[in-house]
Amino acid sequence: MAISPTLRRRHLSSLLREAREKRGLTAKWVAEKAKERSGRERGWSESKLNRLESGVWKRVRAEDITVLLDIYGITAPDERATYLTLVREAMQKGWWASYSDVLGTGEFVGLEAEASRIRTFESAAIPGLLQTEDYARALMRDSEQIGSSASLDRRVQARMLRQQILNQSSPPDFHTVIDESVLLRITPELAGQLDHLWEASHRPHTDIRILPLSRGPHAAMTGQFVILDFPLPNQPVVYLEALAEEIYLDKPEEIDRYQRIYEYLRDQALSPEDSRDLIHTLRLSLNEKRHD
């Protein structure tokens, strides 16, 4: 499984926050002690420590982490090595760094790259990991963020590269519930997307379920979401995407809420076999229209 600098950064930040809170220390006190120890008047502040603990940083120095470990009394060589290894790995760059012009920080892609299980509910579009190039291009073409054909091409390329995680030797378990309305909006010109979805439904690590319109109102009508699970000791993350921002939820109560919503949707959806049959019926119908 690929190393994700994004996940390493989040894990390092979580460990630093837990280490301070476990000892009952305030961020202000720790920052003052760090300033004394490092001898750099402008090097430390409460806001800097808050950024380190929340993962809102682009670069981190091993010497800064060493100062914090000393303050927290973390002296065991193995434990200190764990922190410093995370520092080194957090500073690596994933493939998405070269697509920062269209992916921004690439935080979601970085987390997705190391997830052991991905659960998603989609109410408006086919999941990105299952989109064909033509379908992805059609979705992105009218986006206000697209300023040129070159930008559109790079966004589509990045989406196709994301899909490589499903083809690796140990792919994540991918589970998705897709609202039936998503399938009904696919035009004959994009019928290949239904062919691709039907083929994907046969993959051993993929579970595709369609939520039929006949089920009526449901708990997730406000929009799609993604639950990312990781190998221990990393905690799950819920990802919500709005037009202008990305939201990450990692509090236990938030994760539990979305897990319960997903299980409800999964139970309301058609079985994988019935979902496959529905996809097959729709793909045959679209292919007939395409050839008329």
pLDDT grade for 67, boundaries at 50, 70 and 90: very high
Q: 32 lies in which domain range? A: 5-90
**Residues 129 and 163: beta-carbon distance below 8 Å:** yes
**Which of 3-12, 53-62, 92-101 holds the top average pLDDT?**
92-101
**What is the pLDDT, as a whole number, of residue 1?**
44
User: Looking at residue 147, what is its pLDDT?
Assistant: 58
**Do 222 and 143 fall into the same domain?**
yes
**DSSP state at residue 292:** -
On whether both 233 and 280 belong to a single domain, the answer is: yes
Task: Return the pLDDT at 244.
Answer: 65
Q: Where is pLDDT greater, at 157 or 215?
A: 157
Task: State the average pLDDT for the chain.
Answer: 89
Q: What DSSP element (H or E) covers 175?
A: strand 173-179
Residue 143 confidence (pLDDT):
62
Tokens 């990105």, located at residue: 128
Domain count within the chain: 2
Same-domain status, 126 and 207? yes
What is the pLDDT averaged over residues 244-271? 92
Query: Under a CB-based contact definition with an 8 Å cutoff, are residues 136 and 24 in contact?
Result: no
Q: Which of 59, 90, 121 is the last residue of a domain?
A: 90
Contact by Cβ (8 Å): 202, 242 = no
Let me know: does 189 contact 290? Beta carbons within 8 Å.
Answer: yes
Q: What confidence score (pLDDT) does residue 270 get?
A: 97
CATH number at residue 137: 3.30.870
Domain end (from 44, 72, 90): 90
- Residue 55: which of 22, 94, 12 has the closest Cα? 12
At residue 145 the predicted structure's pLDDT band, cuts being 50, 70 and 90, is: low
Last residue of a domain, one of 40, 70, 90: 90
Tell which wins on pLDDT, 228 or 39.
228
**The pTM is what?**
0.83
The answer to which of 87-96, 160-169, 248-257, 277-286 has the lowest mean pLDDT is: 87-96
| Mean pLDDT within 28-54 | 85
Which of residues 292 and 211 earns the better pLDDT score? 211
Q: What is the mean pLDDT of residues 74-93?
A: 91
Do 131 and 17 share a structural domain? no
**pLDDT band of 73, cuts 50, 70, 90:** very high
